[in-house]
Amino acid sequence: MKRIIYISTLFVIVLTSCTTVKLAVPEQFSSQSTSMHVKGLNGWMVNQKLSFGNYYTSAVKRGWNVSSTGTDRPSGVTTEDRLLKMFNVEKSNVTLNQKNKYQFTVQDGNQSAEVFCIEKVTKEQLVVKTNTWWGDTHQTKNYQYSFSAAILPLKVKEDAPWQLVLYNNYDRNKDTAHHFFDLPYLEEEGYITNGTETIHIKPLRIQQFVRKDGREAKFPVRMMSGYELRIDDGVVGIIDSFDNNIWMYNELDSDTKLLLAAVSSALMLRKIQDTIH
Amino acid sequence: MKQIYLLTCLIAFYTALAAQTPANAYLSLQPYEIKGHNNPLKLNITFGNYKTRYIKRSLGSIFNFGRVSFENILLDMAGVPDYVQGTNQRNKDIFSFDLTENGEAISNTRCRAILHQNERVRLLLPSDSSFFSINNVDFLQAVIMLHNDSSQVWQMAASNLNGSMNEPQKGLLRHDTTSIVFEKTTMLLREKAVDRTDVSSLLATMNMVYSFTLNNKVIAAVSYKDTEKRFWLHEKTDPKLAQVIASAAMVLTLRRQLYQ
């Protein structure tokens, strides 16, 4: 787990210092879709507003970003726990909780939708006190990240609200990563549903990317780069978190496009970073 | 007008939602916040219509004494380092409490949990993958007596609740032929109680919980962690079963972590 953070940090430093990374969207999809660059993600965050294509959001109303850390009931005893205890190394089991809420309205000029979001992470860590200049070391035992949103299209015609759920769940005991470049095993799922129709959200992890000069390059490991939105196994949208772009399939009706715009904005406005990415 | 519109939408949504959610999403369970468990000044715990009273704990549960190991004393005298010596300790937790619903006593629960810690590093013996020989006994048993029906005495048994062995942390509630299984797991559960006029009650989060399953259907859950503790219950649960599950959830909330 920790090595993935090292790898990710290393690549972020390398990528930001050398070149601009772009997601290599297959031409089969890009030729039939529109790319929109999202403005407003960086910079002044008070009354933050997003805009992309002909979509724009209201000022994002954020709640308190609540976070707490403390000792809590440990979920189990690991081999590391036993070894540290045996050699009388000072350690503690710490549980970190973080919760963030926000809401906004997204509109395309004709229609609008209200979006209510919550994200939460609970992480249990084994903290080893080294009492040296290295500081304390942390090892994640497990974590549960979830993001949930309720999207209410504001229309004269009755229409059910949509519920968005995206979660990932890591348990060190179930981890299958053994080598340095292995990605940890994550239980993850994402979907948007109104009870009758479902759009699946698939995390996009890529190894190939396009450099600023147009040449293709490859990461040594697959990197989290955004999300793919699918209806019936067909891709209808791509959220590119490398370059803050949203790709939308051209043939969609305006209601679905507004829904995808709401989903994309909600996902891009998240504050709690999932540690695995 | 907006509220009527929202109400119509939400009713349509809730009726159709169940078929669309993933396997570990249990959005039909209603959440109740558990209060008082972390406050040393509050003697009782409340959640929903339930409240505990007369929580009693034996002195032996508070002052644990490790078992004297003559083998370790001899190894100490011979100058053998600590890490070769085994851990051999006995801890227990014995407590009882009453549960009330809307001020009326509904059940009395007595609980006994033990942990015999027997762990040794295997330096000279053929070692298993974890380097440890673990022969712990981690067991919890409880009796839940419902006041309104004296024939309803439920037995509760669980193993490995301290997570000291590489096994699932689970248990069973049984009366006659009815069995409710509970197990530590992670589930997607509702954050707020369903309010058909509030769209934000659709929001759900991932939680580490003990889930209670009756006939392969999850009917209740209680948070594993002590921070932001909640109890979730299916609206259509039989009232007697709900009382039993609420008592069991209190056992799991009140129990102490015995592994040291």
Q: Nearest-CA distance from B12 to chain A in Å?
A: 7
The residues in B 20-49 lying below 8 A from A, measured between CB atoms, are: 20-22, 25
More confident residue, A165 or A89: A165
A·B CB contacts under 8 A: 129
pLDDT-derived band at B90, boundaries 50, 70, 90: confident
Per-residue confidence (pLDDT) for residue A37, from 0 to 100: 92
A176 part of a folded domain: yes
Mean pLDDT of B75-84: 69
Q: For residue A143, which of B260, B186, B177, B49 has the smallest C-alpha distance?
A: B186
**Structural domain for B238, as ranges:** 2-254
pLDDT, tens digit, 9 for 90 and up, residues B181-225: 999 999 999 888 877 778 778 899 999 999 999 999 999 999 999
- Amino acid in position A276: I
**How many structural domains is chain B composed of?**
1
The residues in A 52-71 lying below 8 A from B, measured between CB atoms, are: 68, 70
- Does the structure show a pLDDT above 70 at A8? no
Q: Nearest-CA distance from B107 to chain A in Å?
A: 26
B259 part of a folded domain: no
Residues of A with Cβ-Cβ distance to B17 under 8 angstroms: 163, 193, 195
Distances, alpha carbon A237 to alpha carbons A159, A222, A252, B22, B195, in Å: 22, 20, 10, 21, 32
B56 part of a folded domain: yes
User: A165, B204: Cβ pair inside 8 Å?
Assistant: yes
Residues of A with Cβ-Cβ distance to B83 under 8 angstroms: 86-87
Percent of chain B with pLDDT over 70: 79
pLDDT, tens digit, 9 for 90 and up, residues A225-245: 889 999 988 899 999 888 888
d(CA A115, CA A110): 17
Contact at 8 Å (CB) between A246 and A237?
Answer: yes
- Amino acid in position A152: L
- Contacting residues for B229 by C-beta, under 8 A, at least 6 apart: B33, B34, B37, B38, B222, B223, B253
Which of A101-105, A267-271, B3-7, B38-42 has the lowest average pLDDT? B3-7
pLDDT-derived band at B100, boundaries 50, 70, 90: very high
- Check CB contact of A128 with chain B, cutoff 8 Å: no
User: A72, B164: Cβ pair inside 8 Å?
Assistant: no
A241 part of a folded domain: yes
A248 part of a folded domain: yes
- Check CB contact of A90 with chain B, cutoff 8 Å: no
The residues in B 155-174 lying below 8 A from A, measured between CB atoms, are: 162-164, 166, 169
Distances, alpha carbon B130 to alpha carbons A1, B119, B256, B258, in Å: 19, 12, 26, 21
Residue of B169, B203, B257 to mutate, testing the A interface (most A Cβ within 10 Å of its Cβ): B203
More confident residue, A59 or A243: A59
B79 part of a folded domain: yes
Residue of A80, A82, A159 to mutate, testing the B interface (most B Cβ within 10 Å of its Cβ): A82
Per-residue confidence (pLDDT) for residue A4, from 0 to 100: 46
Residues of B with Cβ-Cβ distance to A89 under 8 angstroms: none
Per-residue confidence (pLDDT) for residue B249, from 0 to 100: 94
Q: Least CB-CB distance to A144: which of B132, B207, B227?
A: B207
Which of B26-40, B43-57, B64-78, B219-233 has the lowest average pLDDT? B64-78
A258 part of a folded domain: yes
User: B20, A169: Cβ pair inside 8 Å?
Assistant: no
Q: Examine the predicted complex and report whether its ipTM is higher than 0.95.
A: no
pLDDT, tens digit, 9 for 90 and up, residues A144-193: 999 999 999 887 666 778 999 999 888 887 777 777 667 777 788 899 99
d(CA B112, CA A108): 62
Percent of chain A with pLDDT over 70: 88
pLDDT-derived band at A277, boundaries 50, 70, 90: very low
Residue of B200, B251, B252, B260 to mutate, testing the A interface (most A Cβ within 10 Å of its Cβ): B200
The nearest alpha carbon in chain A to B201 belongs to A150
A275 part of a folded domain: no
Per-residue confidence (pLDDT) for residue A189, from 0 to 100: 86
A194 part of a folded domain: yes
Per-residue confidence (pLDDT) for residue B142, from 0 to 100: 94
Bridge partners, residue B95, by sequence: B57, B111
Contact at 8 Å (CB) between B70 and B92?
Answer: no
**How many structural domains is chain A composed of?**
1
User: A77, B163: Cβ pair inside 8 Å?
Assistant: yes
Per-residue confidence (pLDDT) for residue A21, from 0 to 100: 65
B260 part of a folded domain: no
Bridge partners, residue A52, by sequence: A55
pLDDT-derived band at A115, boundaries 50, 70, 90: very high
Per-residue confidence (pLDDT) for residue A3, from 0 to 100: 47
Per-residue confidence (pLDDT) for residue A15, from 0 to 100: 46
- Does the structure show a pLDDT above 60 at B12? no
**Structural domain for A106, as ranges:** 2-64+102-120+142-268
Q: Least CB-CB distance to A158: which of B5, B83, B199?
A: B5
Q: Cα dihedral angle (B124, B129, B132, B135), rounded to 10 degrees?
A: -120
- Does the structure show a pLDDT above 90 at A117? yes
pLDDT, tens digit, 9 for 90 and up, residues A192-215: 998 888 999 998 888 777 777 777
Residues of B with Cβ-Cβ distance to A142 under 8 angstroms: 208
The nearest alpha carbon in chain B to A86 belongs to B83
Query: What long-range pairs does A224-227 form, CB within 8 A, spacing at least 24?
Result: A224/A276, A224/A277, A225/A23, A226/A23, A227/A190, A227/A201, A227/A202, A227/A203, A227/A267
Q: Least CB-CB distance to A68: which of B17, B191, B227?
A: B227
Q: Least CB-CB distance to A158: which of B9, B15, B206?
A: B9
Q: Least CB-CB distance to B119: which of A75, A82, A149?
A: A82
Residues of B with Cβ-Cβ distance to A164 under 8 angstroms: none
- The b-or-e profile of B161-174 (16+ CB within 10 A means b, else e) is bbbbbbeebbbebe
Distances, alpha carbon B91 to alpha carbons B96, B114, B116, B160, in Å: 17, 6, 6, 13
Residues of A with Cβ-Cβ distance to B113 under 8 angstroms: none
B240 part of a folded domain: yes
Distances, alpha carbon A87 to alpha carbons A80, A82, A102, A238, B174, in Å: 11, 9, 46, 50, 43
- Does the structure show a pLDDT above 60 at A53? yes
What mean pLDDT is reported for chain B?
Answer: 82
pLDDT-derived band at A18, boundaries 50, 70, 90: very low
Mean pLDDT of A253-276: 86
A182 part of a folded domain: yes
Mean pLDDT of B164-189: 91
Per-residue confidence (pLDDT) for residue B209, from 0 to 100: 94
Q: Least CB-CB distance to A145: which of B8, B82, B206?
A: B206
Return the SS3 of B200.
helix
